[in-house]
Each structure stands twice: as structure tokens, then as C-alpha cells.
Structure 1
Amino acid sequence: MTYENILNDMLSRVPSNVDKREGSIIYDALAPVAFKLAEMYFQLQNFLDLVSGDTAVGEYLDRVVADYGITRKPATKAVRKIVTSGPVDIGTRWGIEGTTYVITEKISDTEYKAECEQYGSIGNHYSGQLDNIDNISGVTAVLADIIVSGEDEETDDNLRARFFSQVRSASTSGNIYDYKKWALEVPGCGGAKVFPLWNGPGTVKVLVVDENMEIDPDLPATVYDHIEAVRPIGASVTVESPQEKVINISADVYLDGSDTLENVQVKFAALIAEYLKSLTFEVYTVSYAKIGSLLLSVPGVADYSNLLVNGGNENIAIGEEEMPILGTVTLTEVL
């Protein structure tokens, strides 16, 4: 119901012997009402979107999924190793690139655990010489290994996918869907695949990846601990990361002159990386034709030839316990 449609409908109900032209008394009286009614219709449509699981966003999506016992996974703080030139007190603070870390535990005289004071993956990003926030004299410190990765708050897309997975799948007494649901409840887990009876009766294997559909070496242990805390008695559970299936691509390309080969290669690699992520735990074939279509979709590419995927010109099969990852992308310009 647009403003114009509402106004025209209202004017059509006014007797024909009344001046209804723009600027007339009746026109000027009805126009603001039509505008407010159109605005209300828009708000009503927006309201419907905010209470449906497929279109709700933010806090409204939180309220939709809460009815099914699902909550958004919160952001967590990174725990890092700090290496110092001498002993420091627990509770001292250090900073680097706008992030700050507080010493929480002593590992040795010169090694400490420190928690990032900022939530999310930003605590994983930096390493190097730290600034001395508490003005401790005679001691320097370096931010080193990640002990526990910080995770960003769960995105709407991941929460929605988890919601649909639960409401569309029968989950009862420790079946496949239960194990998948339990794995996806863990902060940082973005995908899971369950293999029942993988090593005989009473055994279950769960493969997990992070929310970027990448392998996180620390994630399986965290998922295992959570599953052990909630699963029924009796099963022997193994949680692992999938094996990586490297996909290497090469091709000769004909450019249209609107972009450089270097830029084309970067854009093409980004498209392929996203495509491969979309296949994880869902599709077990890397399509040769799809890769060709993605190459043609890159701005600057007029055509291509000699496209090779892992040295061949056919689809690549992905094993049940594998995930495809991008290896090398080599494009050669044909003049």
C-alpha cells in the first residue's frame, strides 16, 4: 500500500462535484493522512519481518529463538601468553595496538597468562612488544602465543542456521541431531558433522570447524568437554577437526583491460575461498564448472582457457571427513 495508492483511493470516494486537484482543500486534507497510513503499513510489514525466524535480526532474532531454548553465543576474551624480562605482579596491565591485557596467572618467572580486556577475536590479532600501562620499571614484555582464542559474538546468520537446524531436525536422547546441536552450542563452533557408530557400537565421532568454516586446533577439546557434560551415559565420543583437502587452481586468462592481473587473481581467490567454505559438511564435490563460472564473474576477465583444478579438468571429490581449502591460485595473462 503506497502513499499514491492510498491517496488515490481516498480521493475516489470524494464526490465528483468536489475539486480534487492537487492544491485543493480536500486534496491537502487527505494527503497527510495518506502519508501516515502508508508509513504505518510499512511499519507493520517491518514488524512481521522482525518476528519471523527467517527475517528477524539482532535482539528480535534473540527473542524468536529464545522460545526454543536457544541463546546467542556471547563474545569471549582471548587468553595470551606474555613473556617478560623479569617477574611482574598478577593484575598488572599491558597494551598493544589499542588492546589491553591483564596478567592473571604465573607460568614461570618470565612467562604469564594474560586475559584480553576486550571481548572478541581482536584479542587474537596482535603480537609483539607490549606497552607498560602500569609503569613497572625495568621490565619489558612481549605478547606471544594464543592460549585460548577470543570469539566474536555469534552472528545473526550463524544463530539463524542453528535455530533452523534445531527446529527442523528431530533431536531425542542422544541421536545425531543432539550431538550436532551440542557441538554448535559451543562459542566459536560454526559447523559440525556427526558420525554415529564410527568405530563400532557405542561410538560417536564429531567433526567441527569454527564460525569462519576454518580449522581451529583448540576447538575440538572445547566441544568435547561440552558434549561430555550434556550427553547421555554410554557413548564413547571423539571430537576432531576435519582433514584438509587442498584445492589448487591454475588458468590462462584473457583480460578486458579494466583491471590488472594481480587484482583479478586476488578477487578470484576470495570468491573461490568463499565457495569452498560453503561446501564444508554440505557438499562433497568441488565443481569444475562452478570454478570456471566464478572466474568469468570476476570484473576484468573476458575469457579463460586451460583451467586446471588440482592438475585436472574434472570435479574433485571430497571425502566424508575432509573439508576443501584453497591452496594456490595461478592465473596467467594471455595477450
Structure 2
Amino acid sequence: MPFLRPSLKDIADRITADLDSRMGGAAFRRSVKSKLATSLAGAVHGLYGYLDYLARQINPATATDQYLRLWCVVWNILPREAVIAKGQATFTGNPGAAVPTGTLLTRSDGEPFRVVTGVTLASGTAIADIEAVNAGQAGNTEAAVLLQMPSPIEGIQADATVNSGGITGGVEAENDDSLRDRLLLRIRKPARGGNGDDYVRWAREVPGVDRAWCYPNKMGLGTVSLTFTASDMNNPIPDADLVTAVTERIDAVRPVAMKERYVYAPVAHPQTITITNLKPDTPEVRSTIEAELKDLFYREAKPEDGNGQGVVPISLVREAISVASGETDHDLVSPVDDIRPAEGAMATYGGVTWQTA
């Protein structure tokens, strides 16, 4: 039988009854006994709360924070650390002027960046490697965005332009849910010297990787095919750098007897959701629906393996819209059936088209 934690009122009533039995007389509302019972009940209730917290930490399936990380130490699971976004920017100015290493730049929202290696403007322009000061996704910046130097440099224009590749690669530190999932995978499916679960675990050790899928012998006997998603809800399809990082990790730990490995990103299969007759049709409700749909595809979509693994049921799409805060009614125009991407592709969020009467 599970232990039922008593409420604050139950504890206060018990203490009051105990005091009455020992001291005699009723505990009136403003009596000393009543105030004493309330104070003791608050302290005891806090202890119950702490014991409840500790009880969750003794099981790796419910542990959090530093206790979860202590469990990971036991099983040799290393939390993925945050990664700094990196890219290039073009500086303009007088020929011969120099941008020193460490020069600070700021985005319009205040996000700071710095020059990794100083450059000299040979013909009025120069491209410099730059990186975000703070690790995480906040440093990811699209191409053509202007970065401004807070402290001007003689002969250099104050604004630098982010190059075509953008500033990318910024990844948040691994959260408890992801870390716990990897820990439970390690416990439930122990290492087997290179089975499919091992490849999934190895891939998910790389910063920036969210989920992974392994297909043994897909490209022939003795081969291993691995695909995965990035831990970026706005763009879950891994870029070339992340594919390279996972490939290098797999090559460092895979069994020597493996014939060949194939590490690749799934092909994006964007899905545009069309909705009409939304009630109430407000910007706030539209925003919450878009957030729910984006979360749905990020959380539930999988690469199609030829056996229906990548199917996203239409019922999940309807559910995501219906659970959005503030939504009371809508008509889903498209899709009209389960989403079925081609083999090797994965359904991704492609935005919402709103139809009005």
C-alpha cells in the first residue's frame, strides 16, 4: 500500500488533538495551543516534503539535479555540456586597418560575440572567425545579421556582417529529461559490444544530438546504418558538422569487426498544417497552437525505415491543436490523413496556414 503524505491541515489537526489529550480542554482558534499546533504542523509538513524529495532521488528513474548526476557517475554517463556557436563575419574599413583577436561584438539584442583570430583588411574587407561569448543556442545567428563593435577601432566600420553560413553550432547543456533518458537506456540495455543500442547510446553522447536510430545490416551483412536528430526544436535535421562529429564518435568506439558504417541525417519532410474556423481566432491562440505543433513534430516524428516507423498519426496533430491553451474549436483542413514520409525522410514542422471565412 503506498504511503499517503498527510496534508498541512491533517498534521495540524493531529497535533491539536494530541495537545488536547495531554493538556485537557479544547484548543480555541486564538489559543496558545492552536498557534503552537499550526507552527509545529508547518515544520513537520516541510520535513515530509524533504523526505518526499529524497525518496525520488534514490531511484534513477525519478532522480533530478545533482542526485541524477551522481547516478550518472555510477554508470559512467557524462552530461552533455553547452556548446558555443561559431561562424564568420566580414569587416570593412580602410586597407591596412586591423581587427585584433578578442574584439567584442554585440547583436541588436545584446548577445555578445568575440573575434577568435585577428585579421588585417588587405583591400578594404576581411573575413574573421568569430564565436559567441556565451554557450548555448542564444548565440546561433542567421546570415546577413549585423554585429556592432561597442568600442570603435580606428579605420574599421562599426558594423560587421555575419557571413552566408551564419553563426551556428550553439547547443544548450543537457537537461535532466534527456540525461535521465540516456541513463535509463544504459541501465535497461547494457553494453553488448556493439549492438544497435550501443550505437544509439554512442551517438547521443555527442553534444547537439537528441534522438538516434540504428539499423543493423541495412546496407548489407555486417553494416550499421545510423541516423539521428539535433537538439534544436527549430531545426531538428542535423547539419554536416554534427554528422561529422557523430561519425567521429562512432569510429572511435565501434568494434573493429564491423564491416562498414553509414551515419547520415534524415531528409526533412516539412508539413504545413492548414487550419480554419479557429475559435477564438486571436494572435495568442495561434501562437500557442504553433508552439504545440512544433513540439509535436520535434517530440514524436521519426525517420521512416520502410516499416512505418516515421508515420505521424493525424490524431496526434488534432490533439496538439486541441490542447493548445485558449483553443475551443477548429477545423483541420490538412493534412487529412496520417503523415507518411518516404523512406529515409522524417516529418518536420513546416508552419501553419490560417484560413479565415
In 2: Cα distance, 1:273 partner to 1:157 partner? 18
In 1: Cα distance, 2:237 partner to 2:36 partner? 64
In 2: Cα distance, 1:128 partner to 1:17 partner? 76
Match of 1:238 in 2: 262
Q: 1:111 to 1:285 in 2, by over 3 A?
A: same
Higher strand share: 1
In 2: Cα distance, 1:33 partner to 1:26 partner? 10
Match of 1:102 in 2: 115
Of 105, 128, 131 in structure 1, the residue corresponding to residue 145 of structure 2 is 128
In 2: Cα distance, 1:184 partner to 1:108 partner? 42
Aligned residues: 327
> How far 1:30 moved relative to its partner?
4.2
> How far 1:125 moved relative to its partner?
2.5
Map 1:112-261 → 2, pairs under 5 A? 112-125=128-141, 128-132=145-149, 135-140=152-157, 141-144=160-163, 145-146=165-166, 149-212=169-232, 214-217=236-239, 218-235=241-258, 236-253=260-277, 255-256=278-279, 258-260=280-282
SS at match of 1:316: coil
In 2: Cα distance, 1:147 partner to 1:199 partner? 35
**Is the contact between residue 341 and residue 347 of structure 2 (CA under 8 Å) also seen in structure 1?**
yes
Q: 1:16 to 1:151 in 2, by over 3 A?
A: closer
Q: 1:191 to 1:105 in 2, by over 3 A?
A: farther
In 1: Cα distance, 2:102 partner to 2:56 partner? 48
Percent identity over the alignment? 22
**Is the contact between residue 86 and residue 132 of structure 2 (CA under 8 Å) also seen in structure 1?**
yes
Tell me the TM-score normalised to structure 1 length. Answer: 0.84
**Is the contact between residue 106 and residue 150 of structure 2 (CA under 8 Å) also seen in structure 1?**
no
> How far 1:84 moved relative to its partner?
2.5
Range with greater deviation from structure 2 (281-290 or 208-217): 281-290
**Is the contact between residue 94 and residue 133 of structure 1 (CA under 8 Å) also seen in structure 2?**
yes
Map 1:43-82 → 2, pairs under 5 A? 43-82=50-89
**Is the contact between residue 106 and residue 113 of structure 1 (CA under 8 Å) also seen in structure 2?**
no
Q: Describe the superposition over 1:130-160 as per-residue Cα deviations: whole angstroms up to 9, x where unpaired.
A: 3335643212333323465121111222212
Q: Describe the superposition over 1:194-227 as per-residue Cα deviations: whole angstroms up to 9, x where unpaired.
A: 1111211221111021113501212111110111
**Is the contact between residue 237 and residue 267 of structure 2 (CA under 8 Å) also seen in structure 1?**
no
Range with greater deviation from structure 2 (24-33 or 135-144): 24-33
In 2: Cα distance, 1:53 partner to 1:4 partner? 32
**Is the contact between residue 98 and residue 120 of structure 2 (CA under 8 Å) also seen in structure 1?**
no
Of 8, 19, 40 in structure 1, the residue corresponding to residue 13 of structure 2 is 8
SS at match of 1:6: helix
In the alignment, structure 1 segments of 5+ residues that lack a partner are none
Match of 2:26 in 1: 20
Q: 1:105 to 1:25 in 2, by over 3 A?
A: closer
In 2: Cα distance, 1:116 partner to 1:135 partner? 19
In 2: Cα distance, 1:100 partner to 1:223 partner? 27
In 1: Cα distance, 2:299 partner to 2:229 partner? 12
Tell me the TM-score normalised to structure 2 length. Answer: 0.80
**Is the contact between residue 290 and residue 352 of structure 2 (CA under 8 Å) also seen in structure 1?**
yes
Q: 1:333 to 1:225 in 2, by over 3 A?
A: same
Q: 1:166 to 1:107 in 2, by over 3 A?
A: farther
In 2: Cα distance, 1:300 partner to 1:12 partner? 48
Match of 1:304 in 2: 331
Alignment-mate amino acid for residue 304 of structure 1: D
Alignment-mate amino acid for residue 21 of structure 1: A
> How far 1:77 moved relative to its partner?
1.4
**Is the contact between residue 246 and residue 324 of structure 1 (CA under 8 Å) also seen in structure 2?**
yes
Match of 1:274 in 2: 295
Q: 1:266 to 1:198 in 2, by over 3 A?
A: same
Map 1:85-96 → 2, pairs under 5 A? 85=92, 88=98, 91-96=101-106
SS at match of 1:224: helix
**Is the contact between residue 275 and residue 330 of structure 2 (CA under 8 Å) also seen in structure 1?**
no
Match of 2:127 in 1: 111
